[in-house]
Structure formats: structure tokens, C-alpha cells
Structure 1
Amino acid sequence: MASTRNAREDDVDVLAEIGFRAWEKAMETIGEMADMRTSARDAFVNFTRSSWLTITVVEHFGSITGWAAREHLDEVISDFWIDPEYQGQGFGKLLLADVEAEIVHQGFEKARLETHAQNNEAIGFFERHGYVIHWLSVAYSPKIDRDVQSVGLSKQLVEKPSEDYGREF
């Protein structure tokens, strides 16, 4: 049985490893990532250790299968990682619904996130759950010595009142 919960400090090493494995899978489309592996792993360790209070985990029979973070506790989902061995089994859907509910509970009407433009699996996942691409940008990455495209996606979580409401025709 799958469920979500807030991360605990003793989860950080597992969270870092899941994030790193999911990152590796997502970055396969870019290629030539061998030289970034160490810094990426370190970044996941540092982030999960310093920001575990902003992380929501999804678990299955007590084992963590993925996690999401809202680093600044705003409407931005800064991280969303499902362990590759558990992808496509509904854990991402459950986790996303929980994170979106928390965003609404905290008074935000929209959720936002970004990913690299070649991460078709993630983009497709979010689009299937109501997200729309709103922007594309290109930035040079010195670590891989090339331009990397990113996309920004968002989803309206709270319906805005119709502008025709109350108007007489």
C-alpha cells in the first residue's frame, strides 16, 4: 500500500540516493554526464541534508519510492524524483496529488516547476496531470560545455471565478 508523509531527518541518505538514480535516468537523453556524476551525487546529499523539512516522500509498504520538494515552501515544486525501479506504478501520481493539495492548503492557486527540455518522460508525466508548458529557455552549462534547454510548466490548481459571473446580459 502506498502513502505519503513528510520526510524525516533519518531519511536523507535514502532520499539522496533515489534522487541521484532518477537524475541519472533523466539525464540519459543529454549524454556525456560521467564528469557530472560526483557533483550531482554531492548536490543530492547536500540538498536532502539541508532541506529535508521541505520534502514529501511517497512510500510503499514502508520503503521510500520517491520524493518531491518545495524548497522555498511556495508554489514551486523544486524537485520531483521517483526511483526508476518504481516509475510507472502510480507513485508519482499519488505524490503529485499530495504536493498539489499542500500548495493549495498554503494559499497558492497555481503549481510551477521546470525540467530540461529533453526530459520527455517527465514532461509527458506532468502534461498528463494537467501541466502546460509556458516557456522554453536555453542556458550554457560549463560542466557539459553545451547549451541546455529548459522548460517551465504550470498548472492552475484553484479555479478562478468567471469574469462573467454576476454580469447581466
Structure 2
Amino acid sequence: MPFIRHARAGDVERLTAIGLDAWHSAIAGLSDGERMRRVAEAVFFRFLSDHWLSVLLVEAEGDIRGWTARENFDNAISDLWVEPSAQGRGLGVLLLGEIEARIVKDRFETVTTKTHARNDRAVRFFRKGGYGVSWLSTAYSPQLDSDVEFIGLRKILGEEGGS
């Protein structure tokens, strides 16, 4: 049975591997992921080393399978990654529900996140979870070393369909 817990400093390498694999899967067709893999790995490792206290992870089948973060402990989900082989089994839904519950507990009325605009799977995931598109923009992505179109998503919490 899957369970969610706070990350520990010793989880950083495993979390980096999950984030990197999920990122690589998400950018397929968007960029040369192999060329950017080292840069992305360094970005994930640095983020997780600096912000592991903001990370919740899900364990299933005896191993960590995904994680989510609120980098600044505000109402923005900065990351939500599930290893590709474990996607489609409800682990992302568990992580999303838990992080939304914590955002509600911290008395925020909305939750936001963003992804690259061509990450159809992530956009569908959040839309299914009650998120609506709130903005589109282009910004520099250090993982891809190029400008990327991003989509911002927002959900009002506590409404029907919300947390």
C-alpha cells in the first residue's frame, strides 16, 4: 500500500533519479533530452539538496516512486514527478491530494503550478484534478537551455471538485 512521507536528506539521490527520468519522459519530442540530461540532473540534484525539507514523497512496492514540492512553502507546487514506470497507478493523485491538503492547512485559498505547454500528460493530469489554465508565457528553462512556452494552472481550493 502506498504511503506519503517527508523526504530526508538521504533521499536526494533517489529523488533526483525519479525527477530526471520523469522529466526526460515529459520532454520527449520537445528537445534533445540526452544532450541536456547532465544539466537537468545537476538542476534536480541542486534543488533537492537545497530544498529537501519542502518535499513529500510517495513510497510503493518498497521504494520511492514519486515526489512533490512547495519550494517556498507557499501555494505554488514547484514540482510533481512520478517515475515513468509507476505512472498511471494513482501515485500522482495521492501526492497532489496531500500537497493540496497542506496548502489548505496553511490557509491558502488557491493552488498554482506550471509545466511546459507541450507537456500534454501533465496538463491533462492537472485539468482532471480541477485546475484551469491561468496564463501562458515563454521563459528560459535551464534544464533545456532554451526558451520554452509554459502554461500556468490554478485551482480554487475548497470548492466543489477542489480539496
Alignment match, 1:36: 36
Structure 1's 52 and 144: CA in aligned 2 closer, same or farther, altered over 3 A? Answer: closer
Pairwise CA distance, 1:37 = 1.0
TM-score normalised by L of structure 2: 0.91
Q: Please tell me the residue identity of whatever aligns with 2:97.
A: A
- Residues 55-103 of structure 1 show CA distances to partners (whole Å, capped at 9, x for unaligned) of 0001114311100010000000001100000000000001100000000
8 Å CA contact 1:29, 1:119 repeated in 2: no
**Length, aligned pairs only:** 160
Gaps of 5+ in 2: none
Pairwise CA distance, 1:147 = 4.2
8 Å CA contact 2:69, 2:80 repeated in 1: yes
CA RMSD of aligned residues (A): 1.9
Secondary structure in 1 matching 2:135:
strand
Say which is worse superposed, 138-147 or 52-61, in terms of deviation. 138-147
Alignment match, 2:101: 101
Alignment match, 1:19: 19
Pairwise CA distance, 1:153 = 0.0
Gaps of 5+ in 1: 160-169
- TM alignment of 1:2-151, pairs within 5 A: 2-139=2-139, 147-151=147-151
Structure 1's 138 and 76: CA in aligned 2 closer, same or farther, altered over 3 A? Answer: same
Pairwise CA distance, 1:127 = 0.3
TM-score normalised by L of structure 1: 0.88
8 Å CA contact 1:58, 1:95 repeated in 2: yes
Secondary structure in 1 matching 2:136:
strand
Structure 1's 114 and 143: CA in aligned 2 closer, same or farther, altered over 3 A? Answer: closer
Cα distance between partner residues in 2 of 1:88 and 1:142:
28
- Residues 2-51 of structure 1 show CA distances to partners (whole Å, capped at 9, x for unaligned) of 11111111111100000000000011030323321111001111111111
- Residues 119-160 of structure 1 show CA distances to partners (whole Å, capped at 9, x for unaligned) of 00000000001000111112356886764211000111134x
8 Å CA contact 2:132, 2:154 repeated in 1: yes
Q: Percent identity, please.
A: 45
